[in-house]
């Protein structure tokens, strides 16, 4: 058993919950990194459809979102020839490994997981499905099934990677060295603020620009963005730091001179919000144009999307079977070989 792939590359596994189309926050926090990492790693990109039990009353939405996510991935340049697209529930070994691994994860570690705790509080008075409480265990299995070395994710996912490392260590120590201890890797922009200035761009807060928003929608969303609330006139000196419009300029406008000039004039009260926002909308649309083009190409050829998902499932299944054979061997589960 080699711990590397056939081509000698280390492996990546990362994933996303299928809740709908992806936005700029997904891009800056994750996708941008994933596209780059494809060159040096064997990448497994997972659509975690077991991880959306909060949509149990709207399964149709989950089904639709799986396709939206796959389209967005192809649109940003994830390459199904090089990388492996995985719909989680098509690989039953995810469920199987989850059950074995849950033997080796202390309940207290799950209860103390800060990301899970915060998400459980978001349920408020609504009841929490058991599957929601145990999703981090499933995520541990997602990462360990392909025996991944690296997990590029948003900052909020790091506690789950800690659990994964702990489970891998315990399993390897008690049985056999089956699993690498995976590392997390956080992107250039761990968390992108929302259009409204809230800490996070998110669908549920309705403060996002989507990768598939048409230019007119982007213009309109940028026009109504939150800026510096202390600034009443264009001639008032303004705050650049923490101002979402400038945060987006920093992330998405490649014309550094333009950005520096705008910041300088903003601080001096020598530019209006309108100009700063117009230039941002132009930069965002220029960034999104090639993504829109590729998305339109695939949307008109859904057969290609289907093929990406089908071949990904085949390849992921093979790796999954290899790992499960190693796990059974390590646990000495060859019951029927005995007599």
Q: Could you list the residues that contact ligand TRP (CB under 6 A)?
A: 13-17, 46, 48, 51, 139, 142-143, 151, 153, 157
Min dist. Cβ of residue 286 to ligand TRP (A): 27
- Rounded-to-integer distance, Cα 184 and Cα 310, Å: 28
**How far does the chain reach from its first CA to its final CA, in angstroms?**
27
CB-based contacts of 51: which residues, under 8 Å, 6+ apart?
15, 17, 88, 135, 138, 139
Min dist. Cβ of residue 46 to ligand TRP (A): 5
Min dist. Cβ of residue 13 to ligand TRP (A): 6
Of 48 and 75, which has the nearer Cβ to ligand TRP? Answer: 48
Of 176, 165, 174, nearest in space to 143 by CA: 165
Of 26 and 277, which has the nearer Cβ to ligand TRP? Answer: 26
Of 86 and 283, which has the nearer Cβ to ligand TRP? Answer: 86
Q: Which residue is nearest to ligand TRP (CB)?
A: 15
What φ, ψ does residue 319 adopt, rounded to 5°? -60, -40
Of 192 and 281, which has the nearer Cβ to ligand TRP? Answer: 192
Min dist. Cβ of residue 236 to ligand TRP (A): 40
CB-based contacts of 95: which residues, under 8 Å, 6+ apart?
50, 138, 141
Min dist. Cβ of residue 119 to ligand TRP (A): 9
Of 87 and 245, which has the nearer Cβ to ligand TRP? Answer: 87
How far CA 339 is from CA of 128, 272, 316, 325, 336, in Å, comes to 46, 83, 33, 20, 7
The three-state secondary structure class of 43 is strand
Of 24 and 151, which has the nearer Cβ to ligand TRP? Answer: 151
- Rounded-to-integer distance, Cα 119 and Cα 133, Å: 9
Min dist. Cβ of residue 161 to ligand TRP (A): 8
- Rounded-to-integer distance, Cα 272 and Cα 278, Å: 10
């Amino acid at each position: 058993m080699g711990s590397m792939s056939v081509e000698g590359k280390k492996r990546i596994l990362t994933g996303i919950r299928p809740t709908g189309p992806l936005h700029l926050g997904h891009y800056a926090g994750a996708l941008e990194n994933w596209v780059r990492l494809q060159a040096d790693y064997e990448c497994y990109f997972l659509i975690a459809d077991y991880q959306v039990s909060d949509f149990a009353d709207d399964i149709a939405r989950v089904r639709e979102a799986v396709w939206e996510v796959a389209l967005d991935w192809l649109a940003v340049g994830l390459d199904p020839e090089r990388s492996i697209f995985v719909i989680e529930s098509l690989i039953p070994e995810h469920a199987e490994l989850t059950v074995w691994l849950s033997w080796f994860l202390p309940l207290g570690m799950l209860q103390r997981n800060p990301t899970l705790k915060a998400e459980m509080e978001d349920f408020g008075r609504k009841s929490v499905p058991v599957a929601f409480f145990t999703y981090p265990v499933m995520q541990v299995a997602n990462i360990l099934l392909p025996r991944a070395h690296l997990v590029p994710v948003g900052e909020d996912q790091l506690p789950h990677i800690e659990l994964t490392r702990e489970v891998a260590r315990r399993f390897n120590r008690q049985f056999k060295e089956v699993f690498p201890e995976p590392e997390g890797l956080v992107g250039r922009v761990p968390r992108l603020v929302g259009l409204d200035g809230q800490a996070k761009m998110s669908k549920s807060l309705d403060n996002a620009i989507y990768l598939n928003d048409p230019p007119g929608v982007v213009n309109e969303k940028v026009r109504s963005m939150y800026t510096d609330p202390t600034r009443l006139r264009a001639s008032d000196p303004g705050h650049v730091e923490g101002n979402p419009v400038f945060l987006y300029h920093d992330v998405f406008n490649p014309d550094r001179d333009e950005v520096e000039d705008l910041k300088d004039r903003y601080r001096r009260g020598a530019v209006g919000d309108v100009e700063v926002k117009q230039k941002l909308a132009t930069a965002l649309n220029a960034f999104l144009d090639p993504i829109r083009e590729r998305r339109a190409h695939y949307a008109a050829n859904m057969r290609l999307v289907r093929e990406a998902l089908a071949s990904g499932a085949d390849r992921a299944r093979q790796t999954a079977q290899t790992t499960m054979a190693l796990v059974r061997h390590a646990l000495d589960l060859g019951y029927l070989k005995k007599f």
